[in-house]
Amino acid sequence: MTKHFSTMEHDVWLPYRFALGPAFYKWFEGLKEEKIWGTKCPKCGKVLVPARSFCPDCNADMDEWVEVAQEGEIVAWVQANRPFYGAPVEPPFIAALIRLDGTACNFLHLVGGLDGGDAEAAKAKVRRGSRVKAVWADEKKGHMLDLKYFQPV
Ligand SMILES: [Zn+2]
């Protein structure tokens, strides 16, 4: 027997703060110096970025820091055309999963430096396998957007 419930739509707003911990602290501090830090697992050798304190595959502590490449390739991407809560920038924008060279996971960030007036030309440069490189903001705050975006090379 199916039970029916009356429902209503309601937006939940839940601002919060969390302690960065040593791994994220060093990672965000690195962004101020235009460095992208990863950590290397002592068991499987994977380098993960952003840096993590333990390997999710081996559960081993990851305390070897590795400055990773600022270039990589697009694994998947999406174009956001509508505003949404928590969007990193005003739409339209392109977000992509990027595999930085030498790392073992995908890193979600923005793709920019494209001709915003020509969407088709921009899409031609943003494809699975497209090479991209980091572009840094002029002013650094220890924030994810210190790394302004990745630009096709
Ligand atoms: Zn591991």
**Amino acid residing at 55:** C
pLDDT reported for residue 128: 94
Tell me which residue of 97, 93, 58 sits closest to 79, measured CA to CA.
Answer: 93
Q: How remote is the CA of residue 40 from the centroid of ligand 1, in Å?
A: 8
**Amino acid residing at 148:** K
Helix intervals (H) in 62-140: 119-125
DSSP secondary structure letters along 84-96: -TT-SSSSSEEEE
pLDDT-based confidence at residue 1 (cuts at 50, 70, 90): confident
Indicate the average pLDDT of the chain. 92
Q: How remote is the CA of residue 19 from the centroid of ligand 1, in Å?
A: 24
- Are the C-beta atoms of 99 and 107 separated by less than 8 Å? yes
**pLDDT of 119 above 70:** no
- Are the C-beta atoms of 136 and 143 separated by less than 8 Å? no
Give pLDDT tens digits for 68-87: 999 999 999 998 989 988 88
Q: How remote is the CA of residue 47 from the centroid of ligand 1, in Å?
A: 9
